[in-house]
Each structure stands twice: as structure tokens, then as C-alpha cells.
């Protein structure tokens, strides 16, 4: 019995490492890719000195943050000040436990995977609030409040969008959601919801043009203004890890997950995980593209978009989808 428990634990650890190590590598090189994409769009070179084509730049950045001194402000709550960035980073990592990159390829293929992601994304607000409050700075605290309000506002619309998808599937399992798209990806019949979800992920991750928590001209870089060295690096890694998480969720909910775009050769010859990664990288590229294209919103514009535009549209489309499925007897058997 003891050896069986040890074997199970070892397999679980190996499965977790098989997911987390590639995620961390992708996060590291996403910083490089973003700078190269922005440089190409703005007619400049980007990283090109450290290593061939600048490919060692992420390691140089990591070494710089690791070797710098961690400065804790006078009057700050030391324990919470250090716990904030760790909580943000840990939550961004543990959410990957339920993400399937192929059929039943997940660390935990649970039946309520979507609820697990809801819970993790909701807890992410605590890391930001804790960091802003523990810094003992009015600017950091103001940035934390703005960030929390922004995340909560757009989570409401995202919730309605996800419920709309769940109505079409009849299951909370992420694997079932992907398999339900064998005939047609949900981005086609639910295109308005797809657009709202993608824009909401920009706001949820604090990316441009919704990077209001980092409004340098107004609140001196937001809730992490007092952070330095690796404590700042954990916030940085958490942001990019959340970008990959939201891109993976977009891929699962609307882009068919690991399914090939066309059900015939040579598309079916490509392994499922490759299709999954290509779709995730496409969504990541859209994050970069939006950052290079649109100016930052004002805070009142951001809140108006979330509460007065996205919320009514997503609620209306949810009712419309439910009515259509019920009227034409298309509800999944689990819901009918």
C-alpha cells in the first residue's frame, strides 16, 4: 500500500512537471517574442545582442532580477508583502492542473474543471489586493483597488460567456467541451461571445489597452510600485502565465482545443498537442498585436465597457442561445 501511494505521488509530480516546465519556458520566451513582435510593428530591431538573435535575453532578464536586492519599504507588512507576489504566481500555475492539451491529457481530468478555473481566477484578486495593501503606499493601494475592480467587472461578463458555452455542451468538463466541437468550433455560432471573451481576457490579465492598474502617468505603475528584484519578477511571470492560461481557455472554449481545423489529411496527421499550441500561440500573438495597436483606455471608459456594453450583450446572447436550443430541441441530453 505504501509503495502504491509513493508511485501515485511520483506520477502526479511528473505529470505536473510535464505541464509546468513547458509553461515556464513559454512564459520566459513570451517576453522575448513580445518585444520582437512590437519591434517589427514599430520598425525597430528589438532584442538582438544577448545570444544569437537575442534568444538569451530572457535568461539575462532572469539573472538580473535574481541578483538584485529585495527591498521592503519601511512600515510595510513584511509577511504579506512577500506573500502577495507568491500567491499571484502560484495561482497562475495551479490553474494548469485541469487544462487538457489532448484527449484526457490533463493532470486532473475532473468533471467540474470549469468551476475549478472560476475559483482560481477569483482568488487571483487576493494576491493583488494583499500586495497593494501590504506596501504601505497610497499609490500601490489605489492601483490594487483599480485592478480588483477591473478583474471583478470583467469576470461577470466572462461568466455569462462560459455559461453560454456550457449550455451548448451540457458538461463542466473541459475535455467534453472540446469534443463537443468536432462538428463546428463554437467561435462560429457564438462569434459575439468569442469576441467579448477575448476582450475580457485582455482586461482580466491587465493587458493593453486595459492596463489601468499600471497607469504610470496616474498612479506610478500600480499595485507593484514598491516591488523590486524577484518579488517583482513573480508578478511579471504571473501576468504572462495568466496570458497563456486565458489563451488556453479561449482555445478550449471556442477554437476546438486540440482538434484539427479540417477533418481530413494532411491536417489530421498533425498531433493534437501541436494544434493546441498553435492556437494558443495565435491568441498570444493577438495579445501582442492589440498592445501595439490601441492606446490605453481611461478608467471610466473601461468600467463603462464592462458594465454597460459587455454585460447586457452577454446576458442577451445567453438568453437567446438558451431559447434557440430549447425551441429546436437541441439542448444536450444532460440538460434536456
Residue 6 maps to a domain: no
Domains identified in the chain, total number = 1
Residue 165 maps to a domain: yes
Query: Phi, psi (5° rounding) for residue 106?
Result: -145, 150
Note the helical H segments in the chain: 2-41, 57-67, 78-94, 113-134, 138-169, 174-179, 191-204, 216-219, 229-254, 272-293, 299-304, 311-327
Helix (H, G, I), strand (E, B) or coil at 210: coil
Q: Average pLDDT, stretch 156-166?
A: 93
Gap between the Cα atoms of 68 and 78, Å rounded: 18
Residue 130 maps to a domain: yes
**pTM score:** 0.93
Q: Is 6 exposed, middle or buried (0-12, 13-18, 19+ CB in 10 A)?
A: exposed
Gap between the Cα atoms of 174 and 153, Å rounded: 24
Residue 20 maps to a domain: no
Q: Average pLDDT, stretch 152-165?
A: 92
Instruction: Give the pLDDT confidence score for residue 327 in this predicted structure.
Output: 92
Domain ranges, residue 300: 75-327
Q: Average pLDDT, stretch 230-240?
A: 89
Per residue in 243-265, pLDDT (tens digit) is 999 999 999 999 999 999 988 77
Residue 58 maps to a domain: no
Residue 49 maps to a domain: no
Per residue in 23-65, pLDDT (tens digit) is 889 998 999 999 999 999 999 999 999 888 999 999 999 899 8
Per residue in 168-209, pLDDT (tens digit) is 998 999 999 999 999 999 999 999 999 999 999 999 888 888
- Say if residue 213's pLDDT is above 70: no
Name the band, by pLDDT with cuts 50, 70 and 90, for residue 1: low
Residue 287 maps to a domain: yes
Q: Average pLDDT, stretch 275-281?
A: 95
Distances, alpha carbon 51 to alpha carbons 27, 39, 48, 64, in Å: 18, 18, 7, 16
Gap between the Cα atoms of 117 and 171, Å rounded: 14
Based on its alpha-carbon atoms, the radius of gyration of the chain, rounded to whole angstroms, reads 21
Residue 50 maps to a domain: no
Amino acid at each position: 500500500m505504501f509503495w502504491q501511494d509513493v508511485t501515485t505521488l511520483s506520477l502526479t509530480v511528473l505529470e505536473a512537471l510535464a505541464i509546468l516546465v513547458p509553461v515556464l519556458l513559454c512564459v520566459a520566451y513570451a517576453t522575448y517574442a513580445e518585444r520582437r513582435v512590437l519591434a517589427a510593428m514599430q520598425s525597430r530591431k528589438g532584442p538582438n545582442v544577448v545570444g544569437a538573435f537575442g534568444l538569451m535575453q530572457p535568461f539575462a532578464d532572469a539573472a538580473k532580477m535574481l541578483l538584485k536586492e529585495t527591498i521592503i519599504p519601511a512600515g510595510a507588512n513584511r509577511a504579506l508583502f512577500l506573500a502577495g507576489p507568491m500567491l499571484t504566481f502560484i495561482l497562475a500555475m495551479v490553474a494548469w492542473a485541469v487544462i487538457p492539451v489532448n484527449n484526457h491529457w490533463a493532470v486532473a481530468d475532473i468533471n467540474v474543471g470549469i468551476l475549478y478555473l472560476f475559483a482560481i481566477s477569483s482568488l487571483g484578486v487576493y494576491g493583488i489586493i494583499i500586495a497593494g495593501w501590504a506596501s504601505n503606499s497610497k499609490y500601490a493601494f489605489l492601483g490594487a483597488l483599480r485592478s480588483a475592480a477591473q478583474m471583478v467587472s470583467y469576470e461577470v461578463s466572462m461568466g455569462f460567456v462560459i455559461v453560454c458555452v456550457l449550455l451548448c455542451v451540457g458538461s463542466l468538463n473541459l475535455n467534453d467541451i472540446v469534443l463537443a466541437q468536432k462538428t463546428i468550433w463554437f467561435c462560429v455560432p457564438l462569434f459575439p461571445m468569442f469576441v467579448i471573451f477575448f476582450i475580457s481576457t485582455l482586461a482580466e490579465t491587465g493587458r493593453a489597452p486595459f492596463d489601468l492598474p499600471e497607469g504610470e502617468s496616474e498612479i506610478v505603475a500600480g499595485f507593484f510600485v514598491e516591488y523590486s528584484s524577484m518579488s517583482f519578477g513573480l508578478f511579471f511571470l504571473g501576468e504572462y502565465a495568466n496570458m497563456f492560461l486565458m489563451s488556453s481557455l479561449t482555445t478550449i472554449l471556442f477554437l476546438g482545443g486540440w482538434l484539427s481545423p479540417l477533418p481530413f489529411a494532411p491536417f489530421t496527421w498533425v498531433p493534437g498537442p501541436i494544434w493546441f499550441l498553435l492556437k494558443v500561440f495565435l491568441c498570444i500573438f493577438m495579445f501582442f498585436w492589440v498592445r501595439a495597436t490601441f492606446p490605453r483606455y481611461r478608467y471610466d471608459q473601461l468600467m463603462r465597457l464592462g458594465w454597460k456594453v459587455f454585460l447586457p450583450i452577454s446576458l442577451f446572447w445567453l438568453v437567446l442561445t438558451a431559447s434557440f436550443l430549447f425551441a429546436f430541441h437541441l439542448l444536450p441530453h444532460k440538460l434536456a
